[in-house]
């Protein structure tokens, strides 16, 4: 870590950073310039209520409660949206939400034995880092340079209790897996197929892949022959851009040096851009490119925009919160939703996004109270690959069946405190309004109010009717979507 | 419109209109004549009822030398011996005595040759017929079958998988696999918790709620969800749900398939095919034997040996084999040379030659197609490409392999891009 501190201090970009500023307005300007004629199709800005719900889900994974909604709408301060972003970034739920996201990114495709990893320890450590405002280069270095050691005296103790060890453990400490996962997660590029053959559409050669793998190897790394894996040739460690470590460097120092090449070689623009692209993709529903499988650079849409954000992320010492502030204060983020499949109007609106399984579980528990078994079922049924773009994700019949029919969920909802409160309200109008505020975190529209009121009027049993209304909102697409 | 979509007419496979749905339909004011015409249309569909497919997927890629192409007595052969089968002249590895006993139903393809030696890519290639390239996500073959041969109004999914599998890609959720993990049990949450009347009112209110969200900019997500809810609702009232459950299955039959996940999965597959589901995949895991291949094969083979042989016997006895294609394969093969990995040697990834089994649906059993040399490293006769395999699968399913699928951007692609039906496969 001392070595890293030294490299970091001497970064040439630090000196120019003080003079450079890049604001949300600059971002909008850069984006609109890129959009060209598509700016005619820009969606309207969202209202306060929608902004509050969206920002809360994005930064904390939680819905705002009715009191918060009322206070936010009432607040007449012109900078209130910006203040909300700052406030949410300071809440402990912020670190937790993004720790869960990154833990899922790291573990989703991991084939490691479950007894040798501890995703929860990683999540806890990441949550702490994000909440403390730890820079992304520091987090990355900690993950990549970890050297977990097995304690043979204790069964299944592979050092997984220590959070940062779990990236290496998720890769089963295999050089090839570490190489491809480092490229995938921290550079956003896919070089896995170069393990066996030269990349079909890209510049990565088979040797390059194995040279990177050699970097992660404690001793001498041998590359298996393409046709006969028994024939092996020794490969010297070399980073993707050609950097070689000092010959006498020990294995653990070599890993720190990978991290250094990754983060501080100004020619490695992939590192900063991969983080920016992931966060942008989570916030706006589409990335500038698929977050972990970039081939040639020509696949990047509106490249000048993402490159500028990435360059400034570096100038800001890789501060994750800076990226959130920049994007969320922009007009681009604060537009209404629309689904478009044409690349031309990308980012003229925000794409409605499926909420992550843990967020849906939180929303459900918000209604019925803590419910471990339901939570587990939701996490399973709504499981999604965090590295796939929104338009590649799909719902399932199982999700529908779970939300419609799960007996425990229905019973808990029917006996919930929320339902008791709704029933105790003096008027049906209040009941409907409170229902929408509590379940969807917004007021009912006039037509929704009318529909729900007439449903209550036409029902024989008020108690059952309220169950029905709760059921309908729980089963609505909006309940599991960020709008 | 939305209400209509959610409360879809529930005609089951036998053309019966359930009483509950009849009431719903009547309540929506659908006239008697239109009801009758839908009924007739459905009867037309039933006549076309055709083929089904059961895919037994050996995930991880089984070794060809320990399955259907043993090479005992050669340096590459290892500890595996060969045994005679029911078919004179056809010999397979000794791990498979029960398969040997039904060899007259099976065509062994010994000279498969592929292009992808990584699990994810090989699995994709052998499930979709396309290599993983570019941005398009090709559908699982089962999704294409579900679309072509499945009844679109079906009250249970047209594609069921016991265990995780690939998605329907750009064909969308209508033909996505319905995944279950516990064979023999009713799928979770299929029992309605409220009365029919309340359920109907709830769904009607829900569809209005959904319409408003669609107009607010989420049309694509709402459309998908309404399709899923429609399917879920049909499923909940389906009399065919009992195909998932073993309640009426004799204990002796459950024993015959073997009390393993694979055996019980294959039994569910047979029940689903019998109930009219056109595609079922059963996943068996643990075939990636980089180390300890000989011991691991002893552990993994018996449940597949028992389940698959019983499936073939059972299908034949019920007269289903002639219209059911049975496939048993993995994503590629394994290195003929035995590696030196500790603690015990195994075999690594190898795609140049591997093998698989095909049976039923007009396929001539009791034959071996293709040959490898004595070390098992080269194909010497009748190589079969993945395209040829898919051409043959289409023929068995009576589907047009040349059919065009349309990707999300409207680009037409052929279901199978080249190749030809395997020579001599069909009798």
A86 CA: distance to closest CA in chain B (Å): 28
All domains of chain A in start order, with CATH = 2-90+269-351 (no CATH), 93-264 (no CATH), 354-482 (1.10.3130)
Look at residue A12 in the predicted model and tell me its pLDDT: 56
Lowest-confidence segment of B54-58, B167-171, B211-215 by average pLDDT: B167-171
Over the stretch B196-209, which tens digit does the pLDDT of each residue have?
Answer: 999 999 999 999 99
pLDDT at residue A210, rounded to an integer: 87
| Mutate: best of B205, B287, B352, partner A, most A CBs <10 A | B205
Q: Set out the domains of chain B in order of their start, with CATH numbers.
A: 1-48+193-236 (no CATH), 52-184+241-414 (3.40.720)
Provide the 10 A C-beta neighbour count for residue A152. Answer: 7
Q: Is the model more confident about B275 or about B15? A: B275
Residue from A49, A477, A483 to probe the interface with B (highest B Cβ count within 10 Å):
A477
Question: Residue B25: pLDDT above 70?
Answer: no
Burial of A132 from C-beta contacts in 10 A (0-12 / 13-18 / 19+):
exposed
Instruction: Report the pLDDT value the prediction gives residue B388, as an integer from 0 to 100.
Output: 98
**Distance between CA atoms of residues A313 and A275, nearest Å:** 9
Q: Give the pLDDT band (50/70/90) at residue B49.
A: low
Give the gap in angstroms from C-alpha B151 to the nearest C-alpha of chain A.
17
Which one is predicted more confidently, B301 or A108?
B301
Of B178, B229, B335, B338, which to mutate for an interface test with A (greatest number of A Cβ within 10 Å)? Answer: B229
Ramachandran angles phi, psi of B378, nearest 5°: -135, 150
Cα separation, B382 vs B379, whole angstroms: 8
User: What is the reported pLDDT for B7?
Assistant: 33
Does the pLDDT value for residue B110 go beyond 90?
Answer: yes
Nearest to B63 by CA among B311, B310, B306, B345: B345
Q: Phi and psi at residue A153, in whole multiples of 5°?
A: -70, -25
| Residue B84, min C-alpha distance to chain A (Å) | 32
pLDDT at B192 over 70: yes
Q: Find the mean pLDDT for residues B151-157.
A: 91
Q: Which residue of B has its CA nearest to A295?
A: B134
Smallest CA–CA separation between B88 and chain A, in Å? 35
pLDDT of residue A295: 76
Considering only CA atoms, which of A174, A184, A108, A182 is closest in space to residue A141? A182
**What's phi and psi for A221, nearest 5 deg?**
-95, 135
Q: What is the ipTM of this complex?
A: 0.92
Q: State residue B310's pLDDT score.
A: 98
Judged against a pLDDT cut of 50, whether residue B355 lies above it is answered with: yes
Check B188 against A229: CB less than 8 A apart: no
Which of A228, A395, A452 lies closest to B224 in CB terms? A395
Residue B16's pLDDT band, with cuts at 50, 70 and 90, is very low
For position A219, what pLDDT does the model report? 82
pLDDT bucket at B341, cuts 50 / 70 / 90: confident
pLDDT of residue A196: 64
pLDDT of A7 reads: 67
On whether the CB atoms of residues B275 and B240 are closer than 8 A, the answer is yes
CB contact under 8 A, A476 and B224: no
List, in order, residues 6 or more apart from A32 with CB less than 8 Å away. A39
pLDDT score recorded for residue A2:
64
Which chain A residues touch B208 with a CB distance below 8 Å? 451
Flag whether pLDDT at B106 surpasses 70: yes
**Cα–Cα distance between B258 and B238 in angstroms, integer?**
28
CB of B221 closer than 8 Å to CB of A352:
yes
B337 to A445: CB separation less than 8 angstroms, yes or no: no
Residues 6+ apart with CB under 8 A from B45: B151
Q: In the A/B pair of chains, how many CB contacts fall below 8 A?
A: 140
Contacts of B225 in chain A (CB under 8 A): 395, 400, 477
Q: Count CB neighbours of A346 within 10 A.
A: 20
In which band, very low, low, confident or very high, does the pLDDT at B41 lie, cut at 50, 70 and 90?
very low
Which is higher by pLDDT, B292 or B34? B292
Give the closest-approach CA distance of A208 to chain B in angstroms: 18
**Chain B residue whose CA is closest to A444:** B209
Segments of chain A with pLDDT less than 70: 1-4, 6-19, 192-203, 227-230
pLDDT recorded at residue A216: 86
pLDDT at position B11, please? Answer: 35
Task: Tell which wins on pLDDT, B307 or A244.
Answer: B307
The tally of CA atoms less than 13 A away on the side-chain side of residue A108 is 17
Report how far residue B119's alpha carbon sits from residue B125's, in angstroms, rounded to the nearest whole number: 10
């Amino acid at each position: 870590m001392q070595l890293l501190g030294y490299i970091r201090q001497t970064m040439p970009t630090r000196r120019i950073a003080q003079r450079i500023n890049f604001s949300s307005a600059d971002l909008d300007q850069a984006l609109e310039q890129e959009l060209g004629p598509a700016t005619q199709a820009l969606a309207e800005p969202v209202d306060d209520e929608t902004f509050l719900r969206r920002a809360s889900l994005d930064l904390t994974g939680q819905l705002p409660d009715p009191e918060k909604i009322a206070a936010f709408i009432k607040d007449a301060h012109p900078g209130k949206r910006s203040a909300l972003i700052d406030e949410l970034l300071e809440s402990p739920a912020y670190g937790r939400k993004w720790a869960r996201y990154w833990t899922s990114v790291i573990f989703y495709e991991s084939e490691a034995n479950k007894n040798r990893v501890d995703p929860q320890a990683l999540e806890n450590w990441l949550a702490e880092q994000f909440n403390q405002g730890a820079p992304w280069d520091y987090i990355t270095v900690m993950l990549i340079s970890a050297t977990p050691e097995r304690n043979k005296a204790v069964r299944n103790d592979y050092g997984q209790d220590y959070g940062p060890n779990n990236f290496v453990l998720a890769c089963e400490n295999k050089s090839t897996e570490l190489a491809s996962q480092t490229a995938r997660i921290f550079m956003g590029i896919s070089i896995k197929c170069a393990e066996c053959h030269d990349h079909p559409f890209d510049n990565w050669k088979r040797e390059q892949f194995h040279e990177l793998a050699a970097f992660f190897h404690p001793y001498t790394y041998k590359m298996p022959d393409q046709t006969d894996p028994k024939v092996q040739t020794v490969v010297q460690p070399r980073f993707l851009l050609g950097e070689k470590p000092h010959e006498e460097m020990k294995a653990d120092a070599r890993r720190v040096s990978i991290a250094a090449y990754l983060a501080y070689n100004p020619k490695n623009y992939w590192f900063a851009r991969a983080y920016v692209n992931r966060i942008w993709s989570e916030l706006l529903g589409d990335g500038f490119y698929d977050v972990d499988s970039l081939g040639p650079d020509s696949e990047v849409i509106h490249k000048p925009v993402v490159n500028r954000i990435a360059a400034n992320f570096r100038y800001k010492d890789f501060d994750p919160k800076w990226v959130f502030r920049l994007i969320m204060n922009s007009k681009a983020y604060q537009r209404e939703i629309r689904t478009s499949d044409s690349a031309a109007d990308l980012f003229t609106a925000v794409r409605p996004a499926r909420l992550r399984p843990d967020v849906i579980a939180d929303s459900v528990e918000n209604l019925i109270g803590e419910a471990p078994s339901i939570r587990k079922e939701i996490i399973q049924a709504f499981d999604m690959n965090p590295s796939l773009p929104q338009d590649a994700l799909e719902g399932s019949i199982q999700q529908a069946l779970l939300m419609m029919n799960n007996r425990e969920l229905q019973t808990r909802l029917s006996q919930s405190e929320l339902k008791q409160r709704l029933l105790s309200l003096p008027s049906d109008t209040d009941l409907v309004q409170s229902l929408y505020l509590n379940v969807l975190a917004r007021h009912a529209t006039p037509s929704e109010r009318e529909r729900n009121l007439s449903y209550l009027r036409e029902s024989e049993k008020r108690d059952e009717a309220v169950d029905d209304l709760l059921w309908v909102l729980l089963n609505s697409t909006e309940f599991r979507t960020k709008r | 419109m939305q209400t209509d979509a959610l409360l879809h007419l529930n005609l089951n496979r036998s053309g019966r209109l359930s009483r509950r749905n009849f009431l719903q339909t009547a309540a929506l004011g659908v006239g008697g004549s239109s009801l009758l015409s839908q009924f007739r249309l459905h009867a037309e569909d039933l006549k076309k009822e055709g083929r089904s497919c059961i895919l037994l997927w050996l995930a991880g890629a089984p070794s060809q030398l320990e399955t259907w192409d043993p090479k005992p007595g050669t340096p590459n052969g290892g500890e595996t011996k060969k045994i005679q089968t029911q078919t004179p002249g056809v010999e397979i590895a000794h791990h498979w005595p029960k398969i040997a006993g039904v060899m007259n139903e099976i065509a062994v393809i010994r000279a498969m040759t592929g292009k992808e030696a990584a699990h994810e890519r090989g699995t994709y290639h052998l499930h979709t017929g396309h290599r993983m390239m570019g941005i398009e996500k090709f559908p699982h073959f089962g999704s294409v079958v579900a679309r072509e041969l499945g009844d679109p109004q079906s009250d249970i999914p047209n594609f069921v998988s016991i265990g995780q599998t690939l998605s329907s890609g750009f064909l969308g959720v209508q033909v996505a696999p319905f995944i279950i993990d516990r064979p023999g049990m009713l799928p979770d949450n299929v029992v309605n918790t409220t009365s029919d009347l309340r359920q109907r009112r709830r769904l009607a209110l829900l569809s209005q709620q959904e319409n408003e969200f669609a107009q607010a900019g989420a049309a694509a997500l709402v459309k998908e969800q309404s399709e899923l809810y429609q399917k879920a609702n049909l499923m909940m009232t389906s009399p065919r749900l009992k195909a998932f459950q073993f309640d009426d299955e004799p204990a002796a039959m459950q024993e015959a398939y073997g009390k393993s996940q694979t055996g019980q999965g294959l039994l569910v597959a047979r029940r689903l095919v019998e109930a009219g589901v056109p595609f079922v995949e059963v996943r068996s895991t643990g075939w990636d034997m980089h180390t300890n291949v000989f011991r691991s094969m002893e552990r993994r083979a018996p449940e597949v040996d028992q389940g698959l042989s019983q499936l073939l016997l059972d299908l034949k006895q019920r007269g289903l084999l002639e219209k059911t294609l049975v496939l048993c394969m993995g994503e590629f093969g394994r290195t003929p040379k035995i590696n030196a990995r500790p603690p015990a040697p195994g075999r690594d990834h190898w795609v140049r030659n591997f093998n698989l089994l095909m049976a039923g649906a007009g396929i001539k059993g009791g034959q071996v197609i293709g040959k490898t040399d004595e070390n098992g490293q080269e194909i010497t006769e009748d190589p079969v490409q993945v395209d040829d395999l898919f051409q043959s699968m289409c023929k068995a399913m009576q589907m047009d392999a040349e059919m065009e699928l349309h990707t999300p951007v409207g680009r037409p692609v052929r279901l199978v891009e080249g190749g030809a039906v395997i020579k001599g496969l069909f009798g």
